[in-house]
Amino acid sequence: MEPIRVAVVGTGNIARLHAEGLRQLGDEVRLVGAVDTDAGRLSAFCDRYDVPARHPDVASLLEKEQPELVHVCTPPGSHHQLALAGLRAGANVLVEKPPTLNLGELDELAEAEQRYGAALATVFQHRFGTGALRLRALLDAGVLGRPLMAVCHTTWFRPQSYFDVEWRGRWDTEGGGPTMGHGIHQMDLLCAILGDWTEVSALARQQARRSETEDLSMAHVSFANGAVASVVNSLLSIREESYLRFDFERATVELTHLYGYGDDDWRITPAPEYAEEVLAAWRTGAAGVRSSHQAQFAEVVRSLRAGTPPPVTSAETWRTMRLVAGVYASAFTRRPVRPDDLGENSPFYRRMQGDGPRW
């Protein structure tokens, strides 16, 4: 088969991870062009990754290179318009998180998918390590029993200088603080395992940093399957950690890592009476793949070859983004929020901060 023609929009730090991940796919893909508003950065990126075509704007890139897949690697405030341009050109789009600044923009991209016959996927690479795949398989097979309780903590550290970058810590360019831009990865994996959520009660604080957005949020989340979860998102935690814990009827499963995990970062503790069955299933499950951009890219390419929607689809992204919106809505209205509270008439549909936070 011919390689899938891929273009990269934005050539900063995250784009280098994309280029490295694409390289690992070998002849499956061909990086045909890139675009950046910074000519020097664009030139350095194209030289390093042997990209043949360099463009000053996305319209030129789409017209002249006609990519089948566009990777959007720019700051969050530009994701919506760039993804929309790609979909309108008939190109499939893989966009970094968060895919948009709000739910309304995400709905517009979903509508564009239908109108132009192209697909949108969001980079949520934690779904694609074999540890997460193994956990999902055991849950689906009934080996673990019913999910009861979960912990989802993203406790990271960023100094004030991080927030002082022009587009960071602003609602209009980043869409939120650690809830939107950092903990969203762990929150997405939480939703991938536990499914639809039904209610969230939360708080958000400006605890220590000068910014428009929060630097800390905490939430209690209820799920349709009866499970409950504690969710913490912090950029104030000097000992950094990403931690997920799932308590099922027959076992506790834990994941401790920082920005990406391997099989050794998972730990399972079975109930004594189910130990043999649970451990046997765990040991024979999928193994050997770290959570990484490359792992997701491989699945995106496989889906495009098969003619199926590439992961993570806009529908699955919607569930995660709505949980983010729910955390903000609950924190700023100071009441529990359900998914139906976040429709088009909600102030949190077009702005994650709604009518404005009460700090």
Phi, psi (deg, nearest 5) at residue 269 = -125, 100
Q: What is the pLDDT of residues 309-327, one digit of tens each?
A: 999 999 999 999 999 999 9
Q: What is the pLDDT of residue 356?
A: 87
Q: What is the pLDDT of residue 186?
A: 98
Percent of the chain whose predicted confidence (pLDDT) is above 90: 99
Rg (alpha carbons) of the chain, rounded to whole number:
20
What value does the mean pLDDT of the chain take? 97
Angle formed at CA 192 by CA 69 and CA 354, multiple of 5 degrees? 85
Residue 288, helix vs strand vs coil: coil
Q: Is the pLDDT of residue 251 over 90?
A: yes
Q: Is the pLDDT of residue 211 over 80?
A: yes
Q: What is the pLDDT of residue 11?
A: 98
Sequential DSSP letters for 30-44: EEEEEE-S-HHHHHH
Q: What is the pLDDT of residue 330?
A: 98
Q: What is the pLDDT of residue 215?
A: 98
Strand order, beta sheet including 53-55: 53-55, 29-35, 4-9, 69-72, 92-95, 120-122
Q: What is the pLDDT of residue 8?
A: 98
* 359 membership: H or E segment, kind and range: none
Residue with structure tokens 């994996």? 189
Sequential DSSP letters for 95-132: EPSSSSSSHHHHHHHHHHHHHHT--EEE--GGGGSHHH
How confident is the model over 57-64, as a mean pLDDT? 97
pLDDT band at 16 (very low <50, low <70, confident <90, very high): very high
Q: What is the pLDDT of residue 304?
A: 97
Q: Is the pLDDT of residue 241 over 80?
A: yes
The dihedral of CA 181, 186, 189, 190: what is its sign? negative
* CB-based contact 87:100 (threshold 8 Å): no
Rounded to an integer, what distance in angstroms lies between the CA atom of residue 134 and that of residue 268?
11
Q: What is the pLDDT of residue 358?
A: 77
pLDDT band at 47 (very low <50, low <70, confident <90, very high): very high
Q: Is the pLDDT of residue 260 over 80?
A: yes
Q: What is the pLDDT of residue 1?
A: 85
Nearest alpha carbon to residue 179 among 161, 197, 204: 204
How confident is the model over 167-173, as a mean pLDDT? 95
Q: Is the pLDDT of residue 359 over 90?
A: no
Q: What is the pLDDT of residues 94-145, one digit of tens each?
A: 999 999 999 999 999 999 999 999 999 999 999 999 999 999 999 999 999 9
Q: Which residues contact 282 (CB under 8 A, 6 or more apart)?
A: 134, 138, 268
Q: Looking at the DSSP assignment, which residues form a beta bridge with residue 9?
A: 35, 72
